[in-house]
Structure 1
């Protein structure tokens, strides 16, 4: 695994699945008030599909994780939430060796539903656009 860019460290408590496909990194201080949460993943050959590009399932997983962490940070209520709907548009392929960063925007955190958008970028170019609805788990 390559070293992430300066200013990134492993995201804590990712869970076994993301530790298996990741790890996911977080830009230090990006979760501070007023700053967007920026996450990253270093892709490798093990993330490739038969065409030699990064598997869409990995990109979807990364977008889902980024959306959930952004909603969680925005809500600041400690409630458990789960994905209800995830729409993913694949705009350009990623290749093994690419560093992918997420940029999220939370539209609304309600008492039961939350809505957010996410872009995944390589070298500042958007490769994936995702939108999610999350529900407060009971």
Structure 2
């Protein structure tokens, strides 16, 4: 499984997710879907062979990138469209292997939103169970 198939897409659209891309480095994540709600933004991606290490698990770098993007999206959707944020610090803890073919869904919670610095906590879940937890510090640059 290299990408969400037609059934995934149909089901995910029905759950409020839309295909989303920011371009640049985040393109390495593959097909990403995003749902924005009053609670922030959630991302969903299916792990493909290109995301995996030699053990058949999602590579830590892929998961860290997904966590970084998910945490940033968790707060960016609450800011003005012209606001720009960058990651100052990212702490990632890997709890379980995320196997190829798994659907990963992110959750993010803003713990502190100052005028310049924001702290966010998040999870990357498979089947509703956290497999990765992350905490990020973001700075507003514009």
Return the TM-score normalized by structure 2.
Answer: 0.85
Q: Which residue of 2 aligns with 1:10?
A: 19
Q: Aligned with 2:77: secondary structure?
A: helix
Q: Aligned with 2:12: secondary structure?
A: coil
Q: Which runs of 5+ in 2 are unaligned?
A: none
Q: Aligned with 1:37: secondary structure?
A: strand
Instruction: Give distance in 1, aligned partners of 2:112 and 2:42.
Output: 19
- RMSD over aligned CA atoms reads 1.6
1:106 aligns with 2:110: yes
Q: Which residue of 2 aligns with 1:23?
A: 31
Which residues in structure 2 correspond to 1:1-138 (within 5 Å)? Answer: 1-3=3-5, 4=8, 5-7=11-13, 8-11=17-20, 13-27=21-35, 31-32=36-37, 34-76=38-80, 78-137=82-141
Q: Which runs of 5+ in 1 are unaligned?
A: none
Q: How many residues align?
A: 133
Return the TM-score normalized by structure 1.
Answer: 0.88
CA contact (8 A) 2:29 2:66 kept: no
